[in-house]
Chain A
Amino acid sequence: GNSVTQMEGPVTLSEEAFLTINCTYTATGYPSLFWYVQYPGEGLQLLLKATKADDKGSNKGFEATYRKETTSFHLEKGSVQVSDSAVYFCALRDAGDYKLSFGAGTTVTVRA
């Protein structure tokens, strides 16, 4: 079956530090890959996505590249802000599968 593994948290950073959250996946088909973000007390919002190999998704300074050869979709941001404090979920959706398969989530806290 399909599954997503992402690095365990929590992660605590200082403002302007570099953030990377590792995500690897297993899939039976050729999935699309997503990063969702959940701010405190809110629902999930799409942060970025990539639908084919070597695609780079980007939004709000975050980037992730779909690496088929390493089955990875690592999230990066060069300079984090306090407002980036949230839980980040890596997810995939395979062809013919209605559900999103989620990783466990990584809690990120950015200190001023």
Chain B
Amino acid sequence: NAGVTQTPKFRILKIGQSMTLQCTQDMNHNYMYWYRQDPGMGLKLIYYSVGAGITDKGEVPNGYNVSRSTTEDFPLRLELAAPSQTSVYFCASSYSGTREETQYFGPGTRLLVL
């Protein structure tokens, strides 16, 4: 049981380039999330999904897109990368959306936009 896996671990992008951050979970969780972590700050929610085919914006969605074609995968797309998107990105999942439910996090992708 690998839990939540993310690729790549680290990436450098030039301004204006695009890339997709991959996220896969093998726990059969319905809910998946993308957060970003900026230095000295807590995590902020970018997008989330409550099931295959259903996604919605979080607190900081601008500059990102997501899709959820399967239960397992929840890729995050960056179009036209900007320096402000330099951050560490974490994918997470949970079985349900109730307030008691634990969210399980992947190891993160560190992105540097130059």
Within 8 A of B (CB), among A8-32: 30-32
Total interface residues on A, using CB and 8 Å? 28
Between B4, B41, B59, B105, the greatest number of chain A beta carbons within 10 A of the residue's beta carbon is seen for: B105
Instruction: Find A102's partner among B42, B97, B101 (CB 8 Å cutoff).
Output: B42
Instruction: Find B99's partner among A42, A43, A95 (CB 8 Å cutoff).
Output: A95
Give Cα A96 to B99, complex, Å: 7
Determine if A93 and B40 form an interchain contact, defined as CB atoms under 8 angstroms apart: no
Known: A31-B99, A93-B99, A98-B31. A104 touches B48 (CB 8 A): no
B86 within 8 A of A: no
B interface residues with partner A (beta carbon < 8 Å) = 4, 31, 33, 35, 40-45, 48, 50, 56, 58-59, 90, 92, 97-108
Determine if A44 and B99 form an interchain contact, defined as CB atoms under 8 angstroms apart: no
Instruction: Find B42's partner among A91, A95, A96, A98 (CB 8 Å cutoff).
Output: A91
Determine if A98 and B105 form an interchain contact, defined as CB atoms under 8 angstroms apart: no
Determine if B90 and A44 form an interchain contact, defined as CB atoms under 8 angstroms apart: yes
Known: A43-B90, A43-B107, A93-B99. A99 touches B42 (CB 8 A): no
